[in-house]
Amino acid sequence: MATADQIKALIRSHASENSEQFYTTALQVAAHEARLGHGALAHDIKGLVDKARKEHRPVVLQFPKELQGFVLSEEPSVPRSALVVESALGERVDRIVREHRQTEKLKSHGLMPRRRIMAVGPPGTGKTMTAHVLAHELRIPLHTIQVDRIVTKFMGETAAKLRRVFDQMYDIPGVYLFDEFDAIGGARSLDNDVGEMRRVLNAFLQFIEKDTSDSIVFCATNSPQLLDEALFRRYDDVFHFALPGEAERKRLIQNVLGTSVPEKLDWDVLLAKSHDLSQAEIDLACRDALKEAILSGEERVEHAVLERMFDERRSRISSVG
C-alpha cells in the first residue's frame, strides 16, 4: 500500500490540478511497491502513468526562456474543408492527418508517419494555412518559428537556437512551422557570406535528420530555386502549391461567400476575372464583396460588386508586377 504521505500528496496534487506532481507521486508509489516486492503492481502503476501522461499532455507547454520571442504558439481552428487546393495535393495533406492519427499503429509495425514536409509555391496559395490545418485537424498546437529573428549575423548563435528548437520537439509536441524557410535554406544571408549560411543550413539538415520526435516539421518557402536537391531529399514529402485552377476558384468563391453567393452566378465571367489571382486574393475579394453586402443591408453579394472586387485585385497585381 502507498504510504499515508503519498496518499495525501496525491489528493493535494489532484485538488490543485497539478498533474505533473500527481504523476510524480504515483511513480513514487510504484517505486515503493517495487521495494515491497510487488513488482507487478509497480509495473501496472507505471504503465497507467505513462498512458495518462501521453493522453493528458497539456496542449501548449512553455518554451525555455531563450526561445521565447522566437517561437509563437497557438491552437489554430482552421478546418481542412476551408483549404482549397488541387485534389492531388489535398490527398497528400489528408494522408499526413491520417498517418498521425494512427501513429501508434504504424509504430507497432516499425513504421513512422510522414512528418517532415517542405511546402513550396507562390505567395497566398495556402502554405502557411496548411500548417494551421494540420495542427487543427490533429488537435496539436502550432509553433511558428520566427525564422527572420532566429537567423542573425552570428551563425553559431543561429545554429544553437535552431538546435534548441529541435530539442523541444520531443517535449512540446506540435506542428513546427519554419515559414520563410529560404532565410535558412537559401543563400539569402544577411551579410552575403554564403559559406556561413551554408553551415547553418547544414546544421538544420542534421537536426532534421536526427529528430525522431512525433512533431511535424513544416517548412514553407516562396522561392524553390534557392533550395537545392540535397535539401529536398531530407523531407518525407514536398508539397507544391499553385495558383488555383478553375475548379479551385469556383470552390473557393462558394466556400467564402456561403449562402451569400449571388443568386445567379455567371461562372464564365467570374472565372475569367479571377484568373491569375491567388487563393489569398480571391478570398480577400470575396470578403470585400461580403462587406459591401452587409453594409448595404443585402443578404446576397451582388454579381457586379464581386466582379469589381476581382478587377481591383487584378489591377493591383498588374500595377505591382
Task: Give φ, ψ of 145 to 5 degrees.
Answer: -85, 125
Q: Of 4-12, 77-85, 194-202, 261-269, which part binds ligand ADP (CB under 6 A)?
A: 77-85
Do 197 and 189 contact (CB within 8 A), yes or no? yes
Decide: is 30 part of the binding site for ligand ADP (CB under 6 A). Answer: no
129 binds, among ligand ADP, Mg ion, none (CB under 5 to 8 A by kind): ligand ADP
Report the residue closest to ligand ADP, judged by CB.
126
Report the residue closest to Mg ion, judged by CB.
128
Closest CB 243 distance from ligand ADP, rounded Å: 10
The nearer residue to ligand ADP, 128 or 215, going by C-beta atoms, is 128
Binding to ligand ADP by CB under 6 A, coded x per residue (else -) over 206-235, reads: --------------x---------------
3-state secondary structure of 218: strand
3-state secondary structure of 110: coil
Q: Of 6-14, 82-90, 151-159, 226-234, which part binds ligand ADP (CB under 6 A)?
A: 82-90
Residues 108-127 that bind Mg ion (CB under 5 A): 127
CA angle at 205 for the pair 203 and 211, rounded to the nearest 5°: 100
Number of residues that bind Mg ion (CB under 5 A): 2
Q: Residue from 26, 71, 83, 227 that binds ligand ADP (CB under 6 A)?
A: 83
Binding to ligand ADP by CB under 6 A, coded x per residue (else -) over 115-154, reads: --------xxxxxxx-------------------------
Grid cell locating 148: 527572420
The nearer residue to ligand ADP, 22 or 181, going by C-beta atoms, is 181
The nearer residue to ligand ADP, 129 or 162, going by C-beta atoms, is 129
Number of residues that bind ligand ADP (CB under 6 A): 17
The nearer residue to ligand ADP, 281 or 307, going by C-beta atoms, is 281
Q: Residue from 9, 42, 67, 85 that binds ligand ADP (CB under 6 A)?
A: 85
Do 289 and 309 contact (CB within 8 A), yes or no? yes
Q: Of 20-28, 81-89, 203-211, 232-240, which part binds ligand ADP (CB under 6 A)?
A: 81-89
Closest CB 213 distance from ligand ADP, rounded Å: 24
Binding to ligand ADP by CB under 6 A, coded x per residue (else -) over 147-186, reads: ----------------------------------------
